[in-house]
Amino acid sequence: MGESGAFPHLNPVGEVHMVSVTSKDDTVRRAKAEGRVLAPAAVVESVRQGVAKKGDVLAVARVAGIMAAKRTAEWIPLCHPIALTGISITIEMEDSGFVVTAETETRASTGVEMEAMTAVSAALLTLYDMLKAQHRGLVLTGIHLVAKTGGKTGDYFYAE
């Protein structure tokens, strides 16, 4: 619970503010998130064979995810800037599209869930941008937290 009761981002008079994490201990914190781009098999195959019109779309999407994770506090208004100690982006190809997974870690007083989900979002958007010339009907879906460890609230693992 926050200063105003149930909503930690509201102060006692109901105004939005950034929560103070000054009194929280620095601990190792990790998060994993994933999401999907649904695409026709022909689009996936063009990436698999390395003939997508815009080049190595997977490498560009991975870099976009890493860059976004590092800048999450600039995207999400009430997120604390965090010094990330690790970011990993993987992209798996399936017949129906691509699965993007981001894993983030730090030693800090607040978690890295938003960084992992921001990384996934940016990588998915980059895949869309680089593949839209082949098919405008790509669908971004299922962005969610898979797991988080560390911190006061303990561990979380997504259960489908």
Mean pLDDT of 92-106: 97
Retrieve residue 15's tokens: 């105004």
Task: Parse the chain into domains and list their residue ranges.
Answer: 27-157
With the CA atoms of 74, 18, 155 and 30 taken in that order, what torsion angle do they form, in degrees rounded to the nearest 10? 30
**In the beta sheet, which residues pair with residue 123?**
none
pLDDT beyond 50 at 2: no
Mean pLDDT of 20-30: 86
Reported confidence tier of residue 122, pLDDT bands at 50, 70, 90: very high
pLDDT more than 90, % of the chain: 73
pLDDT tens track for 5-22: 467 777 778 778 777 787
pLDDT tens track for 60-83: 999 999 999 999 999 998 899 999
| Exposure string for 68-92, b = 16+ CB within 10 A, e = fewer | bbbebbeeeeebbebebeebbbebe
Distance of CA 109 to the CA centre of its chain: 19
pLDDT beyond 90 at 47: yes
Distance of CA 103 to the CA centre of its chain: 8
Retrieve residue 19's tokens: 């929560």
DSSP string of the chain, one letter each residue: -BTTBS-TTB-TTS-B-PPP-TTSPPEEEEEEEEEEEE--HHHHHHHHTT--TTS-HHHHHHHHHHHHHHTHHHHSTTPPP---SEEEEEEEEETTEEEEEEEEEEEESS--HHHHHHHHHHHHHHHHHHHTTT-TT-EEEEEEEEEEE-STT--EE---
Mean pLDDT of 120-126: 98
pLDDT given at position 4: 38
From the candidate CATH numbers 3.30.43.10, 3.10.105.10, 3.30.70.640, 3.30.1280.10, the one assigned to the domain spanning 27-157: 3.30.70.640
pTM: predicted TM-score of the whole model, two decimal places: 0.89
Among 51-60, 65-74, 96-105, 126-135, where is mean pLDDT lowest?
51-60
Would you name the residues annotated as active-site residues? 129
Mean pLDDT of 51-58: 91
Residue reference for tokens 């989900």:
117
